Amino acid sequence: MTNRIKDMLTAGRVAIGTWHTVCSIEVAEALAALGFDWIAIDMEHGSADVAYAEQAFIAFERHGAAPFVRLPAADPILARRMLDAGAHGLLVPVVEDARSFAEFARHCFYPPEGRRGVALERFNRWGEDFSAYLRDFRPVLVPMVETRKGVAVADALAALPQVDALFFGPYDLSADLGDPGNFTTPQFRAALDAVKSACAKHGKAAGGHQVAPDPAELQARIAEGFRFVAYGTDVLAMRHALAGIKGIARG
């Protein structure tokens, strides 16, 4: 029972996902039916709780999208609960210390590698896949680099064996650099290059967010070397598709 997204990243392939931010199973299934490789429940900025996430996972799985979660913080207990609910991967925001992240990661793996509690839950079909899951499954772990401190430890993070990708957070980093939303400053570009270089050095995937749902821009991010890409969000896609209605209605 292997992890398809981990296998894709290990093989150097591109895995494209998106953020699910609203609590609507209809939206969750509509996203999954589009063909994303993975979809992350956004528990940092969205309104989902554990119970909703588990329902959304079922919708994702029906269409072959791997369920991921962006945790609100490096919370090992919530991480365990999300893995037990069936998450294939976890994104952790604002990571600034490699040693702390390594300790968090231990809660995501079973003994002797880690400290995750062994259970019979939906992730192993209540024990039916107990041995296969225990032997073969490893979650995708992605620390998010979103501050100057995070950039400074990017090399140490990428060197951790538990890490599959580093995710570059453009808005938070630009804010930390003092110019929110400006992705063209020399400081921002240097930070981006440092994270990508750390990933390349240690054979990890470079991750990032193509915020606007623009296929040409998505292709540009892939051409730049990003292999773990979040493309838009559910709400941004809706607003993008319906933008301009005020002008038309009032014109």
Distances (CA, A) of 243 to 2, 171, 209, 210, 235: 41, 22, 21, 18, 12
Report the C-alpha gap between 192 and 48 in whole angstroms. Answer: 30
Which SS3 state, helix, strand or coil, does residue 44 take? coil
What tokens appear for 219 in the block? 């292709």
Tokens of 133: 């899951």
- Tally of CA atoms within 13 A in the half-sphere of 148 that contains its CB: 6
User: Is 45 noted as a catalytic residue in this protein?
Assistant: yes
Per the CB < 8 A criterion, the answer to whether 203 and 140 are in contact is no
Going from the C-alpha of 125 to that of each of 20, 28, 41, 109, the distances in angstroms are 24, 22, 21, 18
Could you tell me the two tokens for 135? 């032997």
Structure tokens at 122: 């939906």
- The Cα 9–Cα 147 span in angstroms is 24
What's CA 251's distance to the chain center, in Å? 41
Helix or strand run (H / E) with residue 41: strand 38-42
Catalytic residue, candidates 45, 107, 202, 209: 45
Distances from the Cα of 80 to the Cαs of 69, 84, 88, 126, in angstroms? 12, 6, 12, 16
Question: Which residues form the catalytic set?
Answer: 45
